[in-house]
């Protein structure tokens, strides 16, 4: 019974990985590719490790799989976020069909208010 549930979980994980990698090939833009691939592949690999836990129970191998689930979850999402920020700042163009770009407006607002803050900080340093 445990092995059947484990094989179902493993199959679900490999199916998610397959869909994520098809998105990695087919989508038109680096941002779309990274969004599709990172979410699907992270969830699929977590499902594979959960299947490992179900098959072996709370042995040492199952507990190692259970430990590596949150490790993978946080590290993969943080790495993807840093990568997409680097891609945006290095000037990779978006696709022509892109509708909205909120990050540009946010960055412009931050730049303006940042200049004001720098001025205030200089005044503070002069006073002190």
Partner 1 sequence: MENALTILLYIQIGLCFFCLFRIVRGPTIADRMVGIDIFGILVVGICGILAIITDRMFIIDIGIAWIILSFVGTLTLAKYLEGRKLNE
Enumerate binding residues for partner 1 (CB under 8 A).
3, 6-7, 10-11, 13-14, 17-18, 20-22, 24-25, 30, 33-34, 37-38, 41-42, 44-45, 48-49, 51-52, 55, 59-61, 64-65, 67-68, 71-72, 75-76, 78-80, 82-83, 85-87, 89-90, 92
DSSP assignment of 57-113 equals -SSHHHHHHHHHHHHHHHHHHHHHHHHHHHHHHTTPPPPTT----HHHHHHHHHHHH
> For the chain, percent helix, then strand, then coil, each to nearest 5?
85, 0, 15
Task: Answer whether 71's CB lies under 8 Å from 42's CB.
Answer: no
Residue 83 beta carbon to partner 1: minimum distance, rounded to whole angstroms: 5
User: Given the complex with partner 1, which of 61 and 123 has the nearer CB atom?
Assistant: 61
User: Given the complex with partner 1, which of 71 and 123 has the nearer CB atom?
Assistant: 71
User: Given the complex with partner 1, which of 87 and 119 has the nearer CB atom?
Assistant: 87
Cα–Cα dist 102/94, whole Å: 13
Residue 56 beta carbon to partner 1: minimum distance, rounded to whole angstroms: 8
Residue 124 beta carbon to partner 1: minimum distance, rounded to whole angstroms: 25
């Amino acid at each position: 019974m445990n092995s059947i549930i484990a094989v179902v979980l493993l199959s679900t994980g490999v199916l998610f990985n397959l869909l994520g990698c098809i998105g990695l090939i087919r989508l038109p833009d680096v941002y779309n590719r990274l969004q599709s691939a990172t979410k699907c592949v992270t969830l699929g690999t977590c499902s594979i490790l959960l299947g490992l836990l179900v098959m072996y129970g709370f042995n040492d191998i199952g507990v190692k799989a259970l430990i590596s689930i949150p490790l993978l979850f946080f590290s993969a999402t943080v790495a993807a976020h840093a990568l997409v920020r680097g891609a945006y700042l290095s000037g990779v163009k978006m696709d022509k069909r892109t509708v909205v770009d909120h990050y540009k407006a946010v960055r412009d607002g931050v730049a303006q208010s940042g200049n004001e803050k720098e001025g205030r900080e200089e005044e503070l340093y002069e006073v002190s």
